[in-house]
Amino acid sequence: MKRLLPILGILLITSGIIAQQVRDTVTVDDSNIDLYEAYTTYDFWDVVDGSGYGGSHHVLLRSGGNDGPTGAYTKWTLDVPQSGYYMTYFYLPVNSNSRNRALYVVAPFGGTPDSLRFNQSEQGGYWRPLGIYYFIEGTDSYIQMIDDSVSTTGYAVRSDAVRIITSNGAPDLEPERRNSYNFAEVNIGWYEDWTFDVYNIGDQALTIDNLSADTPNFSVPAPGVPHVIPAHSKSQITVRFSPTSELVVYDTLRISSDDSMEPLISIPIRGEGTALTVVLNNDNGAPSYVELSGAWTNSNGIAVCEGIPNATSRYSIQSTSPGARAQYNPDIPVSGQYNVYYAGPLTDNASDHALIEVYPFGSPLPDSVYINQNVAAACVWKFIGTYYFIEGTLNYVFMVNDGTGAGYVLRTDLMKFVSVPARPKIEIPSTSIDFGEVAVENIATQYMMIKNIGSQELVINSLELESDFFSVVSPTTFPISIPALDSINVQLRFQPAQVRDYADTLIVNSNDWDFPMISKMIYGRGIGEQMYVDNPANDSDPHPYWSSYPDLSFEPYPGDSLAQIDTTLYNYWYFSSSAVGYNLNHLYLFSARNPGAWVEWSLIMQNTMEYDIYIYSIASEIDANAVPYIVNPFTADPDTVIVDQANNSGWILLGRYPFIAGLANTVTLLNDTSYTLQGGQSTLRADAVLVQEPDYVGIGTEFDPMPMDFQLSQNYPNPFNPTTSIEFGIPYQANVQL
């Protein structure tokens, strides 16, 4: 489920500040200059009234495009009330056609100027953060915007107000960034650190009493807590990403302190764990690949696997090189469990029983595995097994012709070694479970696989569903243990009680370190009585509920030139196998040549009640735009419904009609040329008819699926906007608070 969560009063660093925390603000605006603030410009800047902070802003229109810098600038001179760290912002008015890489320079007196670039055509109407800087008391610090030639789009340079903020009361914690930090890819078993600055802009010392994240993938090695930051000083926090498995992890760094205004600051963090992978290629030669015996030959056929360079493969003719043997010798970076895979070229003449021998260091005997080397795709990784390899080059894998395999050649190409997480790891291959259409009160079952792709035992603690219409048939006793690299099948049941759509969420709780709770959506559709009548698909297809005049021809339409000579060739309903229609086929007829032609469908239902009747239409610009369908209820007068076949496709409702159990109602498509030739089109088309109980809403219905993982969209709150909206998604139903 996704929601837009309105956060009122998000001005966590300006609005609603309690008495003991008072913020000092210095604003320099182009429209309100006093004795202690200065706004200066160089070059010809125009004033734009009615837009900007204070009611106006300045603009410079570049007549020379990107030919070079104009040298124009604006400069804001700051009157800093006391030395210390200040949050620094500039105001960007609502605008368009502005420079996409405008240069801003923050120049604290006595410090190194900091250069930043912003797209002035985006996020107009807001205060935009420049950063946190240490300013010396007085009027020697400034902020400058300079027009240069780096921007690639926009001809307007815009200048308005700047603002600096500090606290002169209680402790006030400000991190250098609040938006998400991405660690990118880190190998399992390794780690990456992110160190960033945090500032106490208050007049009193601040104490950080807790630093934490929610998953074991992230930790905070420094500083230890409690940690004190003196007034108007800064410190650093180090966050460590140590992935436990091969997946993308979203988490939140939480900083707790005695900042009375904002005791908890949360920063989204993200990292991607990647498995340590070693790929050996016959192209590399010794020592990683060595042919020990037999005659081997180069082949241009290769496994084409993304990101892996590959020039050739090798082969040995099985009949002339019995006992041929090739060795792979990986350099394992870290001792641990590894999955071993082989990939070879797309082929159908290779061994279907190729022997692979795996010798982990210290094993007196190899593990022998046979694979079929014939594959029908460019990159197919054949799983060999999981083994404990020690670090270094003392582990071996051999490809062997032992004489047992059919096929012309034994092939060698790529051998891959992928580290396995040293912990339980859950995987559910199905993204969702859809039972499809199930008659009311009937029972349908499906199976869902739960896999443990880790190297330690996975424990399933519970399987939870909310509704009574879906249930877990087995297993029913928990906890359930799944050994490493093993799986179980969960049997699910669906029993609809009404004619409608159903959806539920299956919650799987386990001891997985990263995802102790996983949700999967389950769908089903309760249906009443239905009947489909479609056109025959071939000459031998029985069609007791379908008839036509003229006859149906399964011969290809002979073409216009021949049909103009023999006009009788027009006088058929022709079968179209053009993969268009309810069952990827339909019938068509030339209306001008066949006045009075018809197709009739007979419909017999099991209950005496009203049913909805639909026809399936295929839209085409050469089709008639007024085609009469005549419904003949057994107990009521005929009803004629006109359908525009040229502009309507899919299921079209003709109406709701009474049926008597066991007696036929009919639907007739009639080539009444007073209708069908009105628009000058030449073709009629006939396809399937559907009858079903009313109130079934499955046709054309789309579900709004629940997200499959946690999602939090980027948001940029700042201290001068009264509200903000944060879009998020969670993979199960829950109440959410920020």
Predicted confidence at residue 559, as pLDDT, reads 55
Cα(564)–Cα(539) distance, integer angstroms: 26
* pLDDT at residue 562, rounded to an integer: 41
Residue 413 lies in a domain: yes
- The single residue listed with the structure tokens 């969702």 is 432
CA distance 533 to 668: 12
Whether 108 and 88 have beta carbons less than 8 Å apart is answered as: no
Q: What is the CATH number of the domain that holds 84?
A: 2.60.120.260
Percent of the chain with pLDDT over 90: 54
Residue 446 has pLDDT above 90, yes or no: yes
Kindly state whether residues 415 and 432 are assigned to the same domain.
no
Q: Out of 138-142, 222-226, 570-574, 625-629, which region has the weakest mean confidence (pLDDT)?
A: 570-574
Least confident of 295-309, 429-443, 456-470: 429-443
For the chain, give the number of residues.
Answer: 738
Same domain, 407 and 482: no
Across 5-19, 345-359, 687-701, the highest mean pLDDT is recorded for 345-359
Residue 560 pLDDT grade (very low, low, confident, very high; cuts 50, 70, 90): very low
127 and 47, same structural domain?
yes
Q: What average pLDDT does the chain have?
A: 85
Is beta strand 56-61 parallel, antiparallel or unpaired with respect to 46-49?
A: antiparallel
How far is it, in rounded angstroms, from Cα 652 to Cα 373? Answer: 51
Q: Do β-strands 711-712 and 723-729 pair in parallel, antiparallel, or remain unpaired?
A: antiparallel
Mapping DSSP onto H, E and C, the string for 347-380 reads ECCECCCEEEEEECCCCCCCEEEEECCCECCCCC
Q: Are residues 519 and 558 in the same domain?
A: no
The full 3-state SS of 247-264, as one line of letters, equals CEEEEEEEEEECCCCCCE
Element spanning 579, H or E: none
Summarize the confidence of residues 279-283 as an average pLDDT: 96
434 in a structural domain? yes
Residues 687 and 559 in one domain: yes
| pLDDT band at residue 7 under the 50/70/90 scheme | very low
- pLDDT confidence band for 420 (50 / 70 / 90): confident
Contact 440, 496 (CB under 8 A): yes
Q: What is the pTM of this model?
A: 0.50
> What is the reported pLDDT for 693?
84
pLDDT in tens, 27-70: 888 876 543 346 777 667 888 988 899 899 999 887 655 444 56
Most confident option among 30-44, 378-392, 703-717: 378-392
Q: What is the pLDDT of residue 563?
A: 42
- Strands (E) across 353-498 are located at 354-359, 367-371, 382-389, 396-400, 409-412, 414-419, 426-427, 432-439, 444-452, 458-464, 470-474, 480-482, 486-494
Of 507, 527, 547, the position where a domain reaches its end is: 527
For position 460, which CATH number holds? 2.60.40.10
For residue 369, name the pLDDT band (cuts at 50, 70, 90).
very high
Tens digits of residue pLDDT in 188-205 = 778 899 999 999 999 999
Distances (CA, A) of 544 to 73, 158, 371, 540, 586: 86, 77, 51, 12, 17
Percent helix, percent strand, percent coil in the chain, to nearest 5: 5, 50, 45
Residue 9 lies in a domain: no
Separation in Å, CA 201 to CA 81, 166, 233, 411, 454:
13, 6, 7, 68, 47
pLDDT of amino acid 561: 43
Any bridge partners for residue 337, and if so which?
A: 388
Q: Give the residue-averaged pLDDT of 571-598.
A: 85
Residues 459, 324 share a domain: no
* Strand partners for 74: 41, 145
Per the CB < 8 A criterion, the answer to whether 287 and 256 are in contact is no
The residues, ordered by sequence, that sit 6+ positions from 373 with a Cβ below 8 Å of its Cβ are 344, 347, 350, 351, 352, 354, 382, 407, 410, 411
Beta bridge partners of 685: 588
> What was the pLDDT predicted at 198?
97
Lowest mean pLDDT among 32-46, 165-179, 191-205, 514-528: 32-46
Residue 671 lies in a domain: yes
Please give the pLDDT value at position 577: 72
Structure tokens at 323: 């006992």
Of residues 135 and 734, which shows the higher confidence score?
Answer: 135
Distant-in-sequence, close-in-space partners of 284: CB < 8 Å, separation ≥ 6: none
Shared domain check, 461 and 372? no
Alpha carbon distance 47, 44 (integer Å):
10
Task: For residue 72, name the pLDDT band (cuts at 50, 70, 90).
Answer: confident
Q: Are residues 40 and 54 in the same domain?
A: yes
Q: Is residue 8 part of a domain?
A: no
Q: How many domains does the chain have?
A: 4
- Of 169 and 130, the one with more pLDDT: 130
Residue 235 counted as domain residue: no
**Residue pair 287/329 in contact by the 8 Å Cβ criterion:** yes
The DSSP element (H or E) to which 660 belongs, if any, is: none
Interatomic CA distance for residues 665 and 638, integer angstroms? 10
Phi, psi of 661 (to 5 degrees): -55, 130
Q: Which domain holds residue 601?
A: 531-692
Amino acid at 543: H
Measured CA to CA, the distance from residue 314 to residue 221 in angstroms comes to: 50
Neighbour order of strands in the sheet with 46-49: 46-49, 56-61, 156-159
Q: Which of 69-78, 223-232, 605-614 has the lowest mean pLDDT?
A: 69-78
Mean pLDDT of 236-261: 91
> Six-digit token pair at 403?
């004489």
Q: What are phi and psi of 55, to 5 degrees?
A: 100, -5
Q: Which residues have a Cβ under 8 Å from the Cβ of 685 and sit 6 or more positions away? A: 586, 587, 588, 589, 617, 618, 620, 623, 645
Is residue 98, in this structure, part of any structural domain at all?
Answer: yes
- Are the CB atoms for 472 and 448 separated by under 8 Å? no
**pLDDT for 309 beyond 60:** yes
Q: What confidence score (pLDDT) does residue 439 get?
A: 83
- Sequence-ordered list of residues with C-beta below 8 angstroms from that of 281, at least 6 positions apart, any chain: 288, 289, 308, 309, 310, 413, 414
Q: Is 15 inside a domain boundary?
A: no
Q: Which of 146, 167, 188 is the last residue of a domain?
A: 167
| Number of Cβ within a 10 Å radius of residue 625 | 18
Instruction: Specify the pLDDT at position 592.
Output: 85
State whether 588 and 552 are in the same domain: yes
Q: Are residues 29 and 138 both part of a single domain?
A: yes
488 and 414 both lie in a single domain = no
Between 454 and 384, name the one with better pLDDT.
Answer: 384
**Model confidence at 677, in pLDDT bands (50, 70, 90)?**
confident
**Higher-pLDDT residue of 252, 431:** 252
In Å, how far are 201, 346, 561, 736 from 255, measured between CA atoms?
16, 54, 81, 20
Query: Which of 419, 453, 477 is at the close of a domain?
Result: 419
Closest CA to 718 of 3, 147, 177, 109: 177
Q: Which of 87, 86, 57 minimizes the C-alpha distance to 74? A: 57
d(CA 235, CA 226): 13
**For range 129-152, the mean pLDDT:** 92
Shared domain for 553 and 685, answered yes or no, is: yes
| Among 562, 571, 564, 460, residue whose Cα is nearest residue 507 | 460
